Amino acid sequence: MTITIAHLYYDILNLYGESGNLKILKYALEKSGYKVIIKFVTVDDILEFDTYDLVYMGMGIPENFNIIIKHLKKYRKDIKSYIENNKVFISTGNSYELFGKYIDLDNNHINTLGIFNFTSKIQDNRLVSEVSAKCKLFDEEIIGFLNTTTFNNNHKHSFLTYNLNDKVINEGVLYKNFIGTYVVGPILARNPLLLEYVIKLLIKDNNYKLCDISFIKEAYQDTITRRSNK
């Protein structure tokens, strides 16, 4: 079985080592016996959503969003169909803002894809923090890192809930097999249950045997233990 992954805007949505999400996913799939093809696509490339098993977008600087959204809007119907047809789409960091209604960045109002009913707005202060979040997929917490100046409080399809500066934040998007979140880290490399969840979505076979990812599980548990002891 061959898994085809599209890494969208790999060259301009590439902050904080978020390509590590695809590296660990490729590693785990190949060690489990599957062939993985990663297609690196960027602005002005032709996007062929009917050929992708998973689409991934990472974090980037907001100044590039106007360029990206101009390209993405050509494929809005394809993206919406891709999501509605339960295909796997992962968007980490601020890139998932592109799927809301608009982004307000200083005096720059960016109309985005409008696939989900939320908006994003720049904050006065940069949000930088390690987080432990409740997740709608399983009981185990999601761990990761925040470093962003924009934020939204998305209640309808929120993916994670956590406390930040004494405020409860419901953020991200979990809709069918679309996962979007500000949490980076990279999130798949730090959270073994989430990694396995994504692999199951791609394999569509509950009887598959996942390779040994004990090194991820041990690192995850070390983090949880360290935080609980503070």
What is the per-residue pLDDT across 12-53, written as a single tens digit (0 to 9) for each?
A: 999 888 899 999 999 999 999 999 999 999 998 999 999 999
Find out whether 110 and 72 touch, Cβ atoms under 8 Å: no
pLDDT tens string 126-137: 778 899 999 999
Could you give the CA distance from residue 225 to residue 230 in angstroms, rounded to a whole number? 9
Contact 227, 132 (CB under 8 A): yes
pTM score above 0.85: yes
d(CA 178, CA 175): 5
Spatial contact of 79 and 49, defined as CB atoms under 8 Å apart: yes
CA atoms within 13 A on the CB side of 85: 12
**Which among 20, 32, 75 is positioned nearest to 199, based on CA atoms?**
32
Neighbours of 114 (CB within 10 A): 14
Q: What are the structural domain ranges in the chain? A: 2-228
Question: What class is the 2-228 domain?
Answer: alpha beta
Pick from 13, 72, 15, 18: nearest CA to 45: 72
